[in-house]
Amino acid sequence: MEHAFGPYMKQLREQQGYSINQLAEAAGISNSQISRIENGVRGVPKPATIRKISDALSVPYTEMMKQAGYIEPGSATELQEVPEWATYKDRRDFKKMLEDDDDLMFDGIPLDEDDKKRIKDVLTGLFWEAKQMNKRKKTDESDNRP
């Protein structure tokens, strides 16, 4: 599936008044990589690179992931935004979990991209649910202390 991620990223960069060099420095990636992405030479970058660019441009990561084609509109990942109660550490843990792009396998057979997306969608919901339950548990335990 063809995505117009490069022109989208270039438009964001220009709207914010960044040069390629400024964005590269802010994102911690090379200016040649920014140029190749914008011109369609490199294609869609990996989620870890998209995270760096989204942070540098102050654009929601999920929005850039959607534009890159990693997140389907209406998917659980898109609908499951980061909860208000999530700390920096929670967000870091979640980011690490989603960006770990090792080959997912079932019974020794690598999963296709659709299966990987479904698994990540389910994991997203479960991750935030487990984090919230853990926080409640800690709060309840501290409330019961003498």
Domain boundaries, the chain: 1-70, 72-146
pTM, 2 dp: 0.53
| Residue 78 confidence (pLDDT) | 45
| Alpha carbon distance 137, 146 (integer Å) | 16
Residue in the structure block whose two tokens are 């995270």: 51
Q: Which residue type does 1 have?
A: M
pLDDT in tens, the chain (146 residues): 345 899 999 999 999 999 999 999 999 999 999 999 999 888 888 888 888 999 999 988 888 888 888 776 655 444 456 666 677 777 777 766 666 656 666 666 777 777 777 777 777 777 777 777 777 766 666 666 66
Instruction: Classify domain 1-70 by CATH number.
Output: 1.10.260.40
Q: Which positions ≥6 away from 104 have C-beta within 8 Å? A: 110, 111, 115, 116, 119
